[in-house]
Structure 1
Amino acid sequence: MTNGINPREMILEILLQIEEGEHSHIAIRSALSKYQFLPRQERAFITRVCEGTLEYRIQIDYILDSFSKVTVDKMKPPIREILRSAVYQLRYMDSVPDSAVCNEAVKLTQRKGFYNLKPFVNGVLRTIAREMDQVKFPSREENLVRSLSVEYSMPEQLVERWLEAYGEETTEKILKDFLEEKPLTVRCRTYLNSQEAIVKSLTDQGVKVEPAPYLPYACHISGFDHILALDAFINGKILVQDVSSMLVAEAADPQKGDYVIDVCAAPGGKSLHVGDKMEGFGTVDARDVSQYKVNLIEENIRRTNSINVQAKVQDATIFDQESELLADIVLADVPCSGYGVIGKKPDIKYRVTPQKQEEIVILQRTILDRAANYVKPRGTLIFSTCTIAKEENEENMMWFLQNYPFKLESLDPCLPEELHSETTALGYLQLLPGVHKTDGFFIAKFRRK
C-alpha cells in the first residue's frame, strides 16, 4: 500500500466500472493518471491484474462455478470482481503467494462492508488454490465450441462464427494471439527525422526498441513507464499506431498536392500518416462526429506540427455537399465491431449481440454511401475496419461494388511483398491475428470509374 492507496481496492473499482459499461483502456488509464505518484511496479501490477481478469473472465467464471455453491451470476458485483481478480492471480501470477492472494481478498471483502461474506470468500479461494489442477475443463471431442470458449475465454457465439468463417486451425491461432502480451507499436515519422535519431532518442531514455514487421518505419517499444514522458513522443517524432493501421496510408498512396478527406479520422493516426507521405504538401481534411473526437485529432496535429492536416466536426453519415467529387483520396475507416483488436481491448468480446452486428453494418453502408460522393473521377476510396467479421468486410465490399461506380484496384504495388496474396492482387486484404503479425484489420482499395 502506497500513500493510503490500496492497489487491490483500485483494481476492484476499475473492474466494477468496466462491468458498468466503461471501456477497459479508459477505466485503467484514468485511474492510473489520477494516481501518477504510484511506483512503476504497483502501476504494472494494477494494469496486469485488471487486463488479465478481463481477458480470462470466461475461464475464471468456469473455475469459480466449479468450486462455489453460489454461481458467479448470482454473486454481488463487488464479491464477484474480488473473486475473479483473485482467481486470475492464483492461476496466472506466480509472483504473488497464494496465501497473500486469499488474505488480501478477505481483507478487501471486509473493507467493502461484506463482513458476513468473509468465510465464503476465504473458503472458495483456499479450495481453488489447493485444487486448481483438478478442474475438469470441457473436452474438445464432446463440444469444440464450448472447449475453445473456456480455454481461450471467448464467448461461444464468436468462437462459432470464426470456426465457420476460418476453420479450426486458424480460429485457434486467432484465439491464442488475443491472449498474448504484445509491445506497443509506434510509427517513426521519418519524413522529418532520421530513423536512427528517433531510435537513439528512445534508447537514451532506456526504452527497448525492436523493428516491427512489414514496414521499415514501424517499431515495437517496451520497458518504459509512461509514453508521455518520452522525448520522441513529446516532440512528435513517434505516433502510437498499429502496423495494420499504417498500411492504410500505404494503400492510399497519396501524391504531393493531393486533397484527401478522412471521414472518421479520430484520433488522427491515418490522417497524419497520409500528410507525412505528402511531405507537408496538399491537404488532409480530418473529420469526425464530435468536438471531443476533433480535439483528439487537433492535439496530435499540434504535437506533430503537421502543417497540411486540418480537423473539423463533420458527421460521416450526413452528406456534405461542398465536398462532392472534390477528393483525390477518401479514407473511410468506418466504426466497426472491433473484433480485430480484442487483444488490446478485451471488453469488446463481452459486448457482442446480433442486433449490434446488424446495426453496425447499416451504419458502415451509410458512411460508404456518403464517402463515395466525395471521390473525384479516377479518384481513390480506401475502406477499412479493425474487425475480422465477413459481413462488415468482404460482404460490405461486394455490396459497394454492386451499387457504386467503382472497381477494386490491386494493393500489391503499395504493400510489402510478404503480404501479397490472391486477394491483394484483386484489391483487398484481411489481416488475421496469429496469422499475420498485426491486429485483425481489413483494407479494400476502390478506384472511381
Structure 2
Amino acid sequence: MDVNIRELALNILLEINRDGEHSHIAVGNTLAKYQFLPKSDRAFITRLCEGTVEYRMQLDYIIDWVSSVKVKKMKPVIREILRLSVYQLKYMDNVPDSAAVNEAVKLAQRKGFRNLKNFVNGVLRNVARRMNEITYPDREGNPSGYLSIRYSIPEALVKSWCEEFGESICEQIISSFLNQRPATVRLCRTGHDPEQTLQELKGQGVEVKKAPYAVDAYEISRYDYLGGLAAFREGKIQVQDVSSMLVAQVAAPVPGMQVLDVCAAPGGKSLHVADLMNGQGMVEARDLTEYKVNLIRDNIERLGLVNIRARVRDASLIYEEDMESADLVLADVPCSGYGVIGKKPDIKYRSNQEQQESLLELQREILKAAASYVKKGGVLIYSTCTIGKAENLDQVLWFTEHLPFQMESLNPYLSPELHTETTAQGYLQLLPGIHACDGFFLARLRKK
C-alpha cells in the first residue's frame, strides 16, 4: 500500500484547522488507522503535525513576511501545505530544504492545485533563502507581540498572564508548552503489585523513571505504542498526568466510602479513587454523553475494578435522589484547558472572551449541584486543568462565600516540595514550566 506520509499529515492538519477537530484526537485516529507504518514514519507524522500546530502563529508570520498573498487569503489546502513545509524548513534539521520544497510542490499537485505549484515553490524557496533575514516584533518596544510570535501564542493570553504572573513567569509557562513531554502513567494497586509491574515494563524494554509529586507516578519512554504494552492491556497501568493524580491523593478516600465524580471522563481520577479504596465502597463516575461514559466504561473494564460504575448525567443539574448521599465528591469542571496546551496545542487558538464568561457560569452551576450531593462533614474536591485566577481561586472564594463549605489544608496529603502558603490554606495552583507537570488547580473543601 503506497502511503504518502506528508499527505497524511496534511489531512490531519485540515481536520484540525479547517474542520475543528482536536489535535490529539486527529493525530491519534490517524496513527491508529496506520498502525502498520514503520515507527519512524509514525514519529515523523506526529512531530510534523504537533510542531506545525504548536508553531502555527509563528509559521504564518514567516509566510506573510515573504508572500504577497497573505495566509488568511489562501485556500485551506495550500495554507496547510505551506505551514507544514515551513515547519520542516525551520525546525526539522534532518529534512533537507530541497526535499521539503519539492514534496510540497508534489503535494499541491496531488491535491488538484497544479495551477498553484509555482506559487508554493516560490514562497518556500523564498523562505528557505531568507529565513535569517526575517524581522520579528521588538522585545523592548513590544514585549507581548514578541512573546506571542516567539512562542506562537495569542497576544491576549500573553498579556493576561504577564499581568497575573509577571513577564518572567509568563515566559516560562509559554516556553514550556513547546517542550517534549514524557508519557506519565499511574501504577494500579488493586490486584497488582506495583513493583512487579515496574519489572514487567523494564522487561519489555521500556525506560521507566519516577515522576515527581504523586506516589504511583512514573514517566515511561522507549516503547512503540501503548496498546503494545502488556501492563497496559492487563490494566496494571493507567495513563494520567501527575497533576491529575494529586486529586485522588488530596481527596484521601478510605475503603467503604460513597464517592461521586460529576465530570469524570475519561475516568482517570475516579479510577484512581476506586483503586485507593481497594475494591470496597462505590465510586459513581458521571459524564454528559454516552460517548464519554463509554470511554470510562472501557477503562473500568481494562482495569478490572469492581467498586466503580459509570452513568450519563448532566453535572449542572441537581438530582434530588442523590442529595447528601456522598462522603466525597469530585468536581473537575469544564475549563479553558490552558494548563494542558503542551499536550493539546490547538486549545490556545480557541480562546475567546465570550466563551470564558459562559464557562465561569457553567462552573458555578456545577459547583452548586456538586455541593448538594456532599454529606454534612463530607469533602468536595474542586479542580481544573487551567491556570488563571478567574476559573480557580476566584471560583473557590465565591463558593465558600455562598455555600456552607470551608477550605482545608492540603499539606497532610502532598509531598513537602509542594507545600506553600496556599496549600496550607487549602488550594494548589500548578504552573507548567514552574512545576514538572501540566498546569492544574485543586482545592479541598469540607462541608460544615
TM-score (norm 2): 0.99
The answer to whether structure 1 residue 384 and structure 2 residue 383 are counterparts is: yes
2:411 is paired with a residue whose SS is coil
TM superposition shift of 1:264? 0.5
Structure 1 distance, partners of 2:94, 2:219, is: 26
Structure 2 distance, partners of 1:354, 1:128, is: 35
Provide runs of 4+ in structure 1 moved above 6 Å: none
Aligned pair count reads 447
In structure 1, the residue matched to 2:346 is 347
2:2 to 4, 9, 34: 4
Structure 2 distance, partners of 1:35, 1:109, is: 22
Alignment of structure 1 residues 153-164 onto 2, 5 Å = 153-164=152-163
After TM superposition, the structure 1 stretch with the greater mean CA deviation from structure 2, 219-228 or 78-87, is 219-228
TM superposition shift of 1:191? 4.3
Structure 2 distance, partners of 1:373, 1:185, is: 34
In structure 1, the residue matched to 2:241 is 242
Gaps of 5+ in 1: none
2:391 is paired with a residue whose SS is coil
In structure 2, the residue matched to 1:447 is 446
The answer to whether structure 1 residue 125 and structure 2 residue 160 are counterparts is: no
TM superposition shift of 1:157? 0.7
**Amino acid of the structure 1 residue aligned with 2:15:** Q
Alignment of structure 1 residues 87-236 onto 2, 5 Å = 87-236=86-235
The answer to whether structure 1 residue 283 and structure 2 residue 248 are counterparts is: no
Structure 2 distance, partners of 1:114, 1:309, is: 54
In structure 2, the residue matched to 1:84 is 83
Query: 1:134-193 deviations in whole A, cap 9, x for unaligned?
Result: 111111111011000000000001101101110011101101110000110000113433
**Amino acid of the structure 2 residue aligned with 1:155:** P
**Amino acid of the structure 1 residue aligned with 2:287:** D
1:197 is paired with a residue whose SS is helix
Identity %: 58
TM superposition shift of 1:317? 1.0
1:413 is paired with a residue whose SS is helix
Query: 1:27-60 deviations in whole A, cap 9, x for unaligned?
Result: 1111121222111111110111000000000111
1:373 is paired with a residue whose SS is helix
Structure 2 distance, partners of 1:34, 1:256, is: 41
**Amino acid of the structure 2 residue aligned with 1:324:** M
TM superposition shift of 1:123? 1.1
Structure 2 distance, partners of 1:109, 1:319, is: 54
Structure 1 distance, partners of 2:152, 2:355, is: 21
Gaps of 5+ in 2: none
Alignment of structure 1 residues 16-35 onto 2, 5 Å = 16-19=14-17, 20-35=19-34
The answer to whether structure 1 residue 49 and structure 2 residue 84 are counterparts is: no
TM-score (norm 1): 0.98
After TM superposition, the structure 1 stretch with the greater mean CA deviation from structure 2, 75-84 or 33-42, is 33-42
1:397 is paired with a residue whose SS is helix
After TM superposition, the structure 1 stretch with the greater mean CA deviation from structure 2, 116-125 or 409-418, is 116-125
Query: 1:291-318 deviations in whole A, cap 9, x for unaligned?
Result: 1111111111110011111111111111
Structure 2 distance, partners of 1:191, 1:111, is: 53
Alignment of structure 1 residues 398-437 onto 2, 5 Å = 398-437=397-436
Query: 1:169-228 deviations in whole A, cap 9, x for unaligned?
Result: 110110111000011000011343333211111122221111111123111111112101
Check conservation: 2:190, 2:305, Cα contact below 8 A.
Answer: no
**Amino acid of the structure 1 residue aligned with 2:336:** S
In structure 2, the residue matched to 1:322 is 321
Query: 1:87-108 deviations in whole A, cap 9, x for unaligned?
Result: 1011111111110000000000
In structure 2, the residue matched to 1:253 is 252
Structure 2 distance, partners of 1:254, 1:216, is: 15
Structure 2 distance, partners of 1:293, 1:191, is: 24
2:166 is paired with a residue whose SS is helix
Query: 1:403-446 deviations in whole A, cap 9, x for unaligned?
Result: 00000000000111100000000000000001111100000110
1:161 is paired with a residue whose SS is helix
Structure 2 distance, partners of 1:267, 1:111, is: 38
Query: 1:65-105 deviations in whole A, cap 9, x for unaligned?
Result: 11111111111110000000001011111111110000000
In structure 1, the residue matched to 2:67 is 68
1:186 is paired with a residue whose SS is strand
Check conservation: 2:190, 2:279, Cα contact below 8 A.
Answer: no
2:274 is paired with a residue whose SS is helix
TM superposition shift of 1:120? 1.0
